[in-house]
Amino acid sequence: MLAGRAETGTKQVEPAYWPPSHCEALKEYVTKGMSYADAANAINSRFGTAYSRSAALGRARRMGLGEPDRSTAPPVLSEAQLQRLRERRTADDFRPLEFFRRPPAFGPVERGPLRCVKIASRHLTLVELERGDCRFPYGGDTDGEAITFCGQPRCKGSSYCTPHLHLSRNPGVATERTMSAAPLRLVNAV
């Protein structure tokens, strides 16, 4: 490995510092009209470095160099080629793109009253929680505020104690467990 290179996995990467001789060579190559990939390859072969196209592009932008001079114009299609392209495009081929669809309009939401439970929380840390303790969290609302947990004995089949279980569920909707536990009554069809 050459001095000044850092190795990441199998690829060698140059550090962010470019010596002045490398910067001058980059400026020379870009002003000649070379692409950034070709300029990086030329610098690498000249100085024994491992600059990537992106590194050359970033360094050129920081040096205030513009895009390389592209004297060749993009190819212009002939009228026959344009006509063939137009024939390929028919009304049946047109499909609106997903990102042109209108986003949904959201209206103001009315908030319901807050529900709270009076319970003597033990305010345990995550490490202090035991197997049967309630995991209802407290705190963590502001940066740096510690998060603690209720720690009261929890309900069977839940991570929360009874008051916190009722607090965390929507009171107007029955849960799946409640609905599936209802006894079924068979009716004879005549």
In the chain, the percentage of residues whose pLDDT exceeds 70 is: 68
pLDDT value of residue 3: 46
- For 99-116, what is each residue's pLDDT tens digit? 566 777 788 888 777 777
CA angle, residues 5, 46, 41, in degrees to nearest 5: 75
| Residues with pLDDT less than 70, the chain | 1-16, 67-75, 88-101, 170-190
Please tell me the pTM assigned to this model: 0.34
pLDDT digits (tens, 9 = 90+) for 66-107: 765 556 666 677 788 777 777 766 545 555 555 566 777 788
List b or e across 124-144, with b for residues whose CB sees 16 or more CB atoms inside 10 angstroms: beeeebeeebbbbeeeeeeee
**pLDDT of 96:** 56
